[in-house]
Amino acid sequence: MILHRTPAALSAIAAAALLAACSSAPAGPPRAMPATHASAHTGASLQSHFWRLAAAFNAQGMPDHSWRLAGRVPLQLQFERGHVAVQGLCNMLGASYADAGGGQLRMGTAISTKRACPDADLMRLEDRVGAALPQVQRYQLQPAADAQRLVLFFADGSRWELDGTPTPQTRYGSAGERIFLEVAPQQMACSSGVARNAQCLRVREVRYADNGVKQSEGPWQVFHGRIEGYTHEAGLRNVLRIQRFKLSHPPADAPAFAYVLDMVVETERVR
């Protein structure tokens, strides 16, 4: 068997705490966003969506394509509990932030997990993003026909435009609960419900201490339902970091929870 812990795995469980502890906080506490910037039509806020870079413009208002790499997904920002995380780079990159009111936004010094990346262009982009975040001065939330758009304005007059996708917390109306599930390498016959004759995942819950040390493992059981964002591959044992949301009105003969993949913490190929 081959055991592989993802580069982020050693810090996956405590990553949020790491970013919170090490980021340089901007002066002043976060404040509630005024209604003119949290769209009154949708209730959108910095925290309610994932924000994917759609376009960038330099100080002269000309398109700047240097913030996107060919063949790679665009940058994505997630704002949560006073910290912004950037996905789509080599490392886990993040910074503290504070909404100062009136559309003013302050960000602290960016920190990352400092893993070397074989893609030199991606590493250069990561360095640029890390340097750019503290230069953000203000933002606007703009409702669009089929999505929300976030515009970030930088000190040098440049700007990013990012398209929003509602977070699971927004879609399900709650903060959810973080759990870890170990998924067995082979599926098994579902034991009940409408999918009785189909194949289901075999899972057990894993509990970790705050420092990432495994504390306990629950019993193996058949998992009825699906995990959003996860595709099972036969022969792979995975440990998944999951956000679990209780459904207010689950369908009849269906799970009472929605499960959303947050991160693959550990992967093992079993031969």
Cβ-proximal residues to 197 (8 Å cutoff; 6+ apart), any chain = 189, 190
pLDDT of residue 248: 83
pLDDT of residue 116: 82
Same domain, 34 and 143: yes
Q: Is residue 63 part of a domain?
A: yes
CATH number of 90's domain: 2.40.128.270
Q: Is residue 254 part of a domain?
A: yes
Rounded distance, CA 101 to CA 37, Å? 9
If one counts the domains in the chain, the total is 2
pLDDT of residue 143: 81
Same domain, 74 and 201: no
Of 144, 166, 188, the position where a domain reaches its end is 166
CB 125 within 8 Å of CB 117: no
Q: Nearest Cα to 18, choosing from 107, 113, 86, 87? A: 113
Same domain, 103 and 29: yes
**Residue 234: exposure state from Cβ atoms within 10 A (0-12, 13-18, ≥19):** exposed
Of 139, 166, 193, the position where a domain reaches its end is 166
Same domain, 146 and 242: no
pLDDT of residue 94: 95
Rounded distance, CA 164 to CA 159, Å? 16
Structural domain range at position 229: 177-269
Integer CA distances (angstroms), 64 to 60, 110, 205, in order: 10, 22, 46
Triad 115, 15, 208: Cα angle to 5°: 120
Residue-by-residue DSSP string for 18-40: HHHHHS-PPSS---PPPTTTS-T
Same domain, 185 and 149: no
**Residue 215: exposure state from Cβ atoms within 10 A (0-12, 13-18, ≥19):** exposed
Of 166, 201, 217, the position where a domain reaches its end is 166
Same domain, 49 and 105: yes
Report the chain's C-alpha Rg in angstroms. Answer: 20
Q: Is residue 189 part of a domain?
A: yes
Same domain, 83 and 161: yes
Q: Is residue 36 part of a domain?
A: yes
Which ranges of the chain have pLDDT less than 70?
1-43, 145, 192-196
Same domain, 184 and 159: no
Q: Is residue 171 part of a domain?
A: no
CB 81 within 8 Å of CB 134: no
Q: Is residue 172 part of a domain?
A: no
Residue carrying structure tokens 């959003």: 228
Same domain, 85 and 141: yes
Same domain, 206 and 100: no
Q: Is residue 161 part of a domain?
A: yes
Q: Find the largest Cα–Cα distance for the chain.
A: 62
Same domain, 130 and 181: no
pLDDT of residue 61: 96
Q: Which two tokens stand for residue 268?
A: 């093992």
Q: Is residue 68 part of a domain?
A: yes
pLDDT of residue 7: 39
Same domain, 8 and 46: yes
